[in-house]
Amino acid sequence: MIMAEYLIPYISPWLAYLLVGLVQCGLLLTVVLLVAAVCNWLERKVSARIQDRLGPTRTGGRFGWLQSPADGIKLLTKEDLVPAAADRRLFLIAPYVSFAISLAVYLAIPWAGGNAFSADPQKAHDWTCVRLDAAVFFIMAVSGLEVFGVILGGYASGSKWSLYGAMREAAQVISYEIPLGLCVVIPVLIAGTMDLVQMGNQQSGWFWNWYLLHDPFTFATFWIYITCAVAHTNRAPFDLPEAESELVAGFLTEYSGFRWTIFFMAEYGAMFAISALAAILFLGGWNGPIPVAQILGLTWEHGAIAGYAGDVLGFCNLFAKASAGVIFMMWLRWTLPRLRIDQVMTTCLKYCLPLASIMLAGVLAWNFTLPGRMFFGISPGSPPRMEKQAETMDESSSEGVAVSLSRDPQERIANWQFQIANCKLND
């Protein structure tokens, strides 16, 4: 939107805003499509490596890197079939629903932190489409919606296999949303905010500031999160909705050509998004294991150019982490056998859910007994979070009313009162 204001002197305002909006949409779309294309190629390569094969080697040189475009062209030229028994309107629209929702998740994901402790959110320069107050919550809500397209597609196909697949998908995704939500709540609890930008910035510094290494419970939570995330995105070993050996191809049975591709892009988009979320929540987001940017002075304190350079670095970091997450999921897919549906539900309700609850309680207890300790409670060096927060509060910048967890009730009340006074100062 800032860009639009530069354009306004030259063209009429509404056109400027429209243009900039379209450009931004296009950028986002490109990212997702590229991710999907690369993932498709990667999947072939990874699976080949695991199965001791070479994978695609012919199309476009030695690594077969033109395989995805070639596949895309093949799929685009296929006939777009609609079964006679299908509910035509829903059948046609379902892939787009799925894809649009998977795209919408990207609205709230920050790609780099920008000016970490800026007083004014307008000047934070974080790399987010829409910086939301409740970004974590938003992403959870929207990523849960993705199943909607699948159910529609499964129902509308008018085929038993598709319907079975869709029903399985619904049951699975709605069930796994609960432990996944519990896992997400844990970093939120530690950070005291649901704003992803703030959460990422609180993990800046060395790798022991990552929430993954905050305490033993968060470490365990991360693995539960990964399990649930895999199930949530319907990847093997939880790919029951499209189990080839049982349901032909599940909800995808009746789809072909372009619409099938769209479904696939939605799946890869969701995988990438949920990996990026994991990276931000547990793996420090755009902060590398070693704070190279800070050491080189590439921060916003040293001017805008340095800040942007640091942000580019951070973006690469986050992208690498998210990609690692995707590759990890592929690795899982090609090594583990598929579960039975009852096993899937058992994993969710009998293992993941209780474990996540225990982790929640554990993190609570840990924070009450050992508040502010990093790196398994050992705390090498002072935690930057507290320091910075105190600073900003002195500047009366008001980083919001963060709920801080403290052992002593007296201290907690004092903390509140401090923050309240802070609020008053602002007004």
Contacts with another protein by CB under 8 A lie at 5, 8-9, 12-14, 17, 87, 89-90, 119-122, 132-134, 137-138, 140-142, 144-145, 147-148, 151-152, 155-156, 163, 167, 170-171, 174, 177, 192-195, 397-403, 416, 420, 423-424, 426-427
- Shortest separation between residue 239's beta carbon and another protein, angstroms: 19
Query: Which structure tokens are listed for 204?
Result: 């800046």
Q: 410 vs 426, which CB is nearer to another protein?
A: 426
Q: 70 vs 90, which CB is nearer to another protein?
A: 90
202 Cβ contact list (under 8 Å, min separation 6): 191, 209, 385
Residue type, 212: L
Q: 119 vs 249, which CB is nearer to another protein?
A: 119
Q: 174 vs 320, which CB is nearer to another protein?
A: 174
- Shortest separation between residue 134's beta carbon and another protein, angstroms: 5
Q: 94 vs 236, which CB is nearer to another protein?
A: 94
Q: 10 vs 62, which CB is nearer to another protein?
A: 10
Give the distance from CA 353 to its chain's centroid. 20
- Shortest separation between residue 71's beta carbon and another protein, angstroms: 30
Q: Measured between alpha carbons, how far is 142 from 119 in angstroms, rounded to an integer? A: 29
Query: Which structure tokens are listed for 423?
Result: 């609020």
Q: Measured between alpha carbons, how far is 156 from 159 in angstroms, rounded to an integer? A: 8
Whose tokens are 């609570």? That residue is 364
State the DSSP string of 146-205. THHHHHHHHHHTT-HHHHHHHHHHHHHHHHHHHHHHHHHHHHHHHHT---HHHHHHHT-S
Query: Which structure tokens are listed for 161?
Result: 């296999």
- Shortest separation between residue 362's beta carbon and another protein, angstroms: 21
Q: 30 vs 396, which CB is nearer to another protein?
A: 396
Q: 66 vs 402, which CB is nearer to another protein?
A: 402
62 Cβ contact list (under 8 Å, min separation 6): none
Closest by Cα among 139, 129, 142 to 100: 142
Q: Measured between alpha carbons, how far is 200 from 284 in angstroms, rounded to an integer? A: 6
Helices 409-426/384-394 angle, 10° precision = 40
- Shortest separation between residue 358's beta carbon and another protein, angstroms: 19
Taking a C-beta distance cutoff of 8 angstroms, is the pair 42, 68 a contact?
no
- Shortest separation between residue 424's beta carbon and another protein, angstroms: 6
Taking a C-beta distance cutoff of 8 angstroms, is the pair 218, 242 a contact?
no
Q: 19 vs 66, which CB is nearer to another protein?
A: 19
- Shortest separation between residue 102's beta carbon and another protein, angstroms: 14
- Shortest separation between residue 104's beta carbon and another protein, angstroms: 10
Whose tokens are 């450009």? That residue is 23
Backbone angles phi, psi at 184, to 5 degrees: -70, -30
- Shortest separation between residue 125's beta carbon and another protein, angstroms: 16
